[in-house]
């Protein structure tokens, strides 16, 4: 691939002149010279460096995605939605793991500012009563003032647009499905402690149990969002009989762990006990798990589309003040729908 210097030399012009022609500058250059440079660039198959464009432009064509746990397939689906939209628009996606740490989110956001990213997507949940939340809000505001678009895919007070699901309703509806099957004692394996999504899903579970007059049958147990957490929590349930009528995990990964522990103990699912999860990841389909389908791909794609469309509007109106688009959008929230997906791990409660 040819360089800008080679194009200028072949066209017989200064490097600065070739740069102005190829960047679309309004600097006065004769039509003849402009045509010559363009012809030579086409002949040499010249392609401008993305890094070089970023250095002379307000933003690069980069979209950052900050995920809580890069091993969690939940975020893989979101990232695919982001990347499909970004790629079609000529943007590049940069995925960054933050390990559920607010200070890491702040440092990664600063890195995205250094790269002049077009936008940053916060894909993970925040923390309940997070002492670092004000620092993150300040960092988001500084990024917005620089013209970087920010979008959250969880309910968080980041003063930016968000594309979310109602996690309370998600847990409420899958609990309602279990109650409708006659289950009265239901164990809920919670997500990671301190996470907002954990609290919201627990609240949804407890709300439906209370509405059904089954508050005494609601058994909340500590867990997490991984297979091992669901497996360990279920082993503890097995060790302290009687078993509940059903086990509901805060996500599919933990539900698969629960399912494995029960089957290893020789407990028939769903003959003796039902199991359900939330998210509807690919693993859920493989093991025929009853769950709740979340529009994860759509969340990622809508977030990317917002960033790219906003960047395009800002580029079409050079007089726009940096951050003005974010201010105009404010903290608008788009709530996407979910759907309970009954499969083979749940059935009507056996016995009288």
Residue 326, pLDDT > 50, answer: no
Residues 151 and 300 in one domain: yes
Residues 155 and 303 in one domain: yes
Q: Considering only CA atoms, give the Rg of the chain.
A: 26
* Phi, psi angle pair for 162, to nearest 5°: -140, 150
Burial class (CB within 10 angstroms; exposed 0-12, middle 13-18, buried 19+) of 195: buried
Residues 122 and 68 in one domain: yes
Residue of 238, 236, 282, 237 lying closest to 256 (CA atoms): 282
Contact call for residues 338 and 292 (beta carbons, < 8 A): yes
Of 269, 294, 319, the residue that ends a domain is: 294
Per-residue confidence (pLDDT) for residue 18, from 0 to 100: 83
Q: For residues 221 and 237, what is the distance between their CA atoms, to the nearest angstrom?
A: 9
Residues 173 and 254 in one domain: yes
Contact call for residues 158 and 152 (beta carbons, < 8 A): yes
The distance of Cα 141 from the centroid of its chain, to the nearest Å, equals: 20
Residues 93 and 39 in one domain: no
Residues 116 and 143 in one domain: yes
Q: What is the mean pLDDT of the chain?
A: 89
User: Residue 252: which domain range?
Assistant: 167-294
Q: CATH number of the domain that 287 lies in?
A: 3.40.50.2300
Per-residue confidence (pLDDT) for residue 315, from 0 to 100: 61
Q: For residues 192 and 206, what is the distance between their CA atoms, to the nearest angstrom?
A: 17
Residue 319: which pLDDT band, with cuts at 50, 70 and 90?
very low
Dump pLDDT digits (tens) for 272-284. Answer: 999 999 999 999 9
Residues 290 and 310 in one domain: no
Q: Is residue 123 situated within a structural domain? A: yes
CA angle 344, 275, 294 (to 5 degrees): 80
Number of domains observed in the structure of the chain: 3
Dihedral of alpha carbons 305, 306, 312, 315, sign: negative
Residues 178 and 324 in one domain: no
Q: Is residue 34 situated within a structural domain? A: yes
Residues 122 and 75 in one domain: yes
Kindly list the strands in the beta sheet with 218-221, ordered across the sheet, starting from the edge strand earlier in the chain: 218-221, 186-189, 246-249, 274-276
Residue 350: which pLDDT band, with cuts at 50, 70 and 90?
confident
Could you give the 3-state DSSP secondary structure of residue 83?
Answer: helix
Q: Is residue 128 situated within a structural domain? A: yes
Residues 186 and 272 in one domain: yes
Per-residue tokens: 112 = 């995205």
Q: For residues 183 and 274, what is the distance between their CA atoms, to the nearest angstrom?
A: 9
Dump pLDDT digits (tens) for 282-291. Answer: 999 999 999 9
Q: Is residue 348 situated within a structural domain? A: no
pTM of the predicted protein model: 0.81
Q: Is residue 347 situated within a structural domain? A: no
Residues 11 and 101 in one domain: no
Q: For residues 132 and 225, what is the distance between their CA atoms, to the nearest angstrom?
A: 23
Q: Is residue 349 situated within a structural domain? A: no
- 242: Cα within 13 Å, side-chain hemisphere: 9
């Amino acid at each position: 691939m040819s360089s800008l210097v080679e194009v200028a030399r072949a066209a017989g012009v200064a490097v600065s002149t070739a740069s102005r022609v190829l960047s679309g500058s309004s600097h006065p250059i004769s039509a003849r010279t402009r045509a010559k440079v363009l012809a030579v660039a086409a002949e040499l198959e010249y392609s401008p460096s993305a890094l070089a464009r970023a250095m002379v432009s307000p933003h690069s064509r980069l979209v950052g995605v900050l995920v809580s746990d890069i091993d969690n397939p939940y975020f893989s689906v979101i990232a695919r939605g982001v990347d499909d939209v970004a790629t079609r628009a000529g943007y590049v996606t940069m995925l960054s793991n933050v390990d559920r740490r607010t200070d890491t989110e702040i440092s990664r956001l600063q890195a995205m500012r250094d790269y002049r990213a077009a936008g940053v997507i916060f894909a993970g949940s925040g923390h309940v009563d997070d002492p670092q939340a004000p620092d993150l809000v300040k960092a988001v505001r500084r990024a917005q003032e620089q013209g970087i678009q920010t979008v959250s895919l969880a309910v968080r007070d980041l003063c930016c647009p968000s594309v979310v699901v109602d996690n309370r309703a998600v847990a409420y509806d899958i609990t309602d499905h279990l109650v409708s099957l006659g289950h009265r004692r239901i164990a809920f394996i919670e997500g990671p402690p301190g996470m907002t999504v954990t609290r919201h899903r627990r609240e949804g579970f407890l709300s439906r149990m209370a509405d059904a007059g089954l508050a005494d049958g609601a058994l909340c147990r500590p867990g997490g969002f991984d297979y091992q957490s669901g497996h360990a929590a279920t082993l503890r349930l097995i060790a302290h009989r009687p078993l509940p009528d059903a086990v509901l995990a805060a996500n599919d990964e933990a539900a698969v762990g629960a399912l494995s522990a029960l089957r290893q103990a020789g407990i028939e699912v769903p003959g003796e006990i039902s199991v359900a999860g939330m998210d509807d990841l690919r693993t859920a389909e493989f093991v025929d798990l009853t769950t709740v389908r979340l529009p994860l791909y759509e969340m990622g794609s809508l977030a990317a589309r917002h960033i790219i469309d906003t960047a395009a509007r800002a580029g079409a109106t050079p007089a726009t003040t940096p951050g003005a688009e974010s201010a105009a959008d404010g903290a608008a929230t788009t709530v996407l729908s979910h759907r309970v997906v009954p499969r083979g791990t749940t059935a009507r409660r056996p016995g009288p």
